[in-house]
Amino acid sequence: MARRLEGGREKLMAKAREILLLQGYDALNIKLLTSACKMGTGTFYGYFKKKDELVLQVMQKDWDELVGAIDRGVSLERGHREGARCIYDQISGFTKNYLAIVRGLALRSPLELDYQRIKEANLQKLYDVVAEKFRAESALGGLKFDLDIEKAARFFVGLCITASTDPTLTFDDLWRFLYFGDPRMQR
């Protein structure tokens, strides 16, 4: 039976995250990981069934932190542009860190892990937070949509994801597109 150590899961996840971000998915080796964490390989399997499960949990933790950072960081007093920038920066950071890994996982075992369900649930959390920010700003008269707020949130998040994964696009490009260069909207 695999042992469980106090703080073992957190230690494995932190070291795995470090390896993933610095060296990539292929560099994450269970034997090397457990050795670096000063635990036996069997201990790993007391926490995770396999490497992909560990990777998904690491990404899930970072995704939850992204959603929380947007919820805390988007302040109506800072203006539309700064709020949009906070959302974009959080999404951009996540996609830069994990996009290649997500694509690789989806190709490796799409039926074994329900990627579509996980993706939709995670995106829904983000849509909800962004929609709440839009709703609050709309109530103050700061934003006006000809579109349902939930749809506007989905559209904006989609644009942020697209812009953050295209090296030829920047936040400023996204902002100019959203407001068609109207200087009144640049606050």
- At residue 44 the predicted structure's pLDDT band, cuts being 50, 70 and 90, is very high
Write down the pLDDT at residue 79: 76
Q: Is 135 exposed, middle or buried (0-12, 13-18, 19+ CB in 10 A)?
A: middle
**pLDDT over 90 at 18, yes or no:** yes
- In this prediction, residue 178 carries a pLDDT of 85
Least confident range of 18-32, 43-57, 91-105, 109-123: 109-123
> What is the average pLDDT value for the chain, to the nearest integer?
87
pLDDT value at 182 more than 60: no
Q: Which residues contact 30 (CB under 8 A, 6 or more apart)?
A: 41, 44, 51
What residue ranges define each of the domains in the chain, with the CATH number in brackets?
1-48 (1.10.10), 50-185 (1.10.357.10)
Residue 144 CB-half CA count within 13 A: 2
Q: What is the pTM of this model?
A: 0.85
